[in-house]
């Protein structure tokens, strides 16, 4: 049984939860203020459950951070020691810039909150609409590619399995590529196949 723990029950978290559930994953969700749509997602679904933070961290194979970046400071980062943590957050700013313009890359600050996490950056460069509407059938030859960024090869492989299960083609690269996934980076929103993604990432090898 593969278990995805999702912290954040907003539009992105729910869209990924649905994609994972239809792909055979069990989904645990934690949100401090669950919305009615989240209760609808788990109600009567034996493969989905609302849990608290410690239970999610203990039982998840992958922990997905799908909260607003500003809210992530309130998380108990000590729960994530030695766990595979999938960072799908972006930071946005509306001060002195156009609405939804990026402020800074979040990856470095996220890793600093618990250096013992097995951190992977992915899923942040598509919108929740993509996960809801653009899931590709497994028999389609040319899948839309998704970047999976980590210096932990084993953790990246686990997340790549999730990416593949929900209908996308994972392309793994090191953390030095993480900023390319940020809003206004070349990967953000890109609809390309695996070779195209490797070009965007500047990756020299396919893991």
Q: Quick one: pLDDT at residue 49? A: 95
pTM confidence score: 0.88
Is 122:88 a contact under the CB 8 Å cutoff?
A: yes
Residue 207 lies in a domain: no
Q: Quick one: pLDDT at residue 33? A: 82
Report the C-alpha gap between 111 and 77 in whole angstroms: 10
CA-to-CA separations, 170 to 36, 162, 196, 199, 206, in angstroms, rounded: 32, 9, 12, 14, 10
Residue 81 lies in a domain: yes
Number of folded domains that form the chain: 1
Q: Quick one: pLDDT at residue 92? A: 66
Residue 147 region, left (φ>0) first, then alpha (ψ -120 to 50), else beta?
beta
Residue 65 lies in a domain: yes
Whats the size of the chain, residue-wise?
Answer: 207
Residue 170 lies in a domain: yes
Is 188:182 a contact under the CB 8 Å cutoff?
A: yes
Residue 169 lies in a domain: yes
Helices marked H in the chain — which ranges?
11-22, 36-42, 53-59, 107-113, 128-133, 153-165, 194-201
Q: Quick one: pLDDT at residue 143? A: 78
Identify the CATH number of the domain in which residue 182 sits: 3.40.50.720
What does the pLDDT profile of the chain (207 residues) look like in tens digits? 899 999 999 999 999 999 999 999 999 999 988 888 888 888 888 999 999 999 999 999 999 999 989 888 889 999 999 999 999 999 865 444 444 444 456 777 899 999 999 999 999 999 888 887 655 555 555 578 999 999 999 999 999 999 999 989 999 999 999 999 998 899 999 999 999 999 999 854 444
Domain region containing 173: 3-201
Q: Pick from 129, 180, 119, 123: which is nearest to 151 by CA?
A: 119
């Amino acid at each position: 049984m593969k278990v995805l723990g999702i912290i954040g029950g907003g539009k992105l978290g729910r869209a990924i939860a649905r994609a994972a559930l239809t792909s055979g994953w069990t989904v645990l969700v934690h949100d401090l203020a669950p919305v009615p749509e989240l209760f609808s997602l788990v109600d009567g679904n034996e493969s989905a459950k609302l849990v608290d933070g410690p239970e999610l961290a203990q039982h998840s194979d992958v922990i997905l951070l799908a909260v607003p970046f500003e809210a992530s400071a309130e998380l108990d980062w000590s729960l994530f020691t030695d766990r595979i943590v999938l960072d799908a957050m972006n930071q946005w700013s509306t001060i002195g810039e156009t609405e939804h313009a990026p402020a800074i890359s979040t990856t470095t600050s996220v890793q600093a909150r618990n250096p013992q996490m097995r951190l992977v950056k992915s899923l942040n460069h598509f919108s929740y609409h993509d996960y809801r509407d653009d899931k590709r059938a497994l028999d389609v030859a040319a899948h839309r590619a998704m970047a999976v960024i980590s210096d932990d090869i084993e953790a990246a492989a686990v997340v790549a399995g999730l990416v593949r299960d929900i209908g996308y083609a994972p392309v793994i690269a090191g953390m030095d590529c993480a900023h390319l996934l940020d809003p206004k980076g070349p990967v953000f929103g890109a609809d390309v196949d695996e070779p195209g993604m490797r070009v965007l990432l500047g990756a020299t090898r396919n893991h």
